[in-house]
């Protein structure tokens, strides 16, 4: 039987696989991603209608997807608003409080540096929260964790791994 994975369309970036899986299994309420190509709105509407998603899309190809239209529109509006809102955006996107706080400390511009500093530091079961495979859609979290031993991120990652493993058995 076919795996009940989230329905990743060809017009989203490969990284959206992780976000969509989290949304699909209710691990996060809303996700933010980007189109990988120009696509007709009708095609997007068909996809959202088929899977019960709501989408908010801006003119630069960034989009928020949720089962709740209000969440999708609200997060996209916050993302596009002027000013620093790293913490609030992270909370609304369903990331752990500790990781949102850390992200706000380093700022959006410091997240890549934080990710680089954490790389090679994940050991044992915490390898599950290594986000380095995220761009290719091979990670269990879609945010940069506050540390290489963040238990809240591990809980999220484990939830996704468990749901994927259960779906593979179907
Ligand atoms: Zn954390």
Using the mean position of ligand 1's atoms as its centre, give its distance from the Cα of residue 78 in Å. 22
Give me the pLDDT at residue 2, please: 47
Using the mean position of ligand 1's atoms as its centre, give its distance from the Cα of residue 107 in Å. 15
Helix (H, G, I), strand (E, B) or coil at 105: helix
DSSP string, 48-89: HHHHT-EEEE-TTSEEEEESSHHHHHHHHHHHHSSS--HHHH
Using the mean position of ligand 1's atoms as its centre, give its distance from the Cα of residue 53 in Å. 28
* Percent above pLDDT 90 for the chain: 88
Using the mean position of ligand 1's atoms as its centre, give its distance from the Cα of residue 100 in Å. 7
User: Which pLDDT band, with edges at 50, 70 and 90, does 170 fall under?
Assistant: confident
Using the mean position of ligand 1's atoms as its centre, give its distance from the Cα of residue 101 in Å. 8
Angle, CA of 31, 116 and 95, to the nearest 5°: 25
Can you point out the beta strands (E) in the chain?
Answer: 30-34, 54-57, 62-66
Q: What is the spatial distance between Cα 47 and Cα 35, in angstroms, rounded to a whole number?
A: 14
Summary mean pLDDT of the chain: 93
Using the mean position of ligand 1's atoms as its centre, give its distance from the Cα of residue 140 in Å. 14
């Amino acid at each position: 039987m076919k795996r009940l994975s989230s329905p990743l369309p060809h017009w989203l970036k490969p990284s959206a696989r992780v976000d969509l899986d989290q949304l699909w299994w209710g691990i996060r309420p809303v996700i933010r991603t980007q189109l990988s190509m120009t696509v007709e709105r009708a095609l997007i509407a068909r996809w959202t209608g088929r899977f019960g998603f709501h989408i908010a899309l801006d003119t630069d190809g960034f989009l928020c997807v949720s089962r709740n239209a209000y969440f999708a529109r609200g997060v996209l509006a916050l993302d596009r608003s002027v000013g620093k809102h790293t913490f609030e955006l992270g909370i609304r996107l369903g990331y752990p409080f500790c990781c949102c706080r850390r992200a706000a400390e380093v700022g959006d511009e410091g997240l890549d540096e934080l990710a680089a500093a954490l790389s090679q530091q994940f050991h044992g079961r915490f390898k599950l929260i290594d986000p380095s495979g995220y761009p290719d859609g091979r990670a269990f979290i879609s945010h940069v964790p506050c540390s290489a031993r963040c238990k809240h991120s591990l809980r999220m990652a484990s939830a996704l791994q468990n749901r994927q493993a259960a779906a593979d058995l179907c």
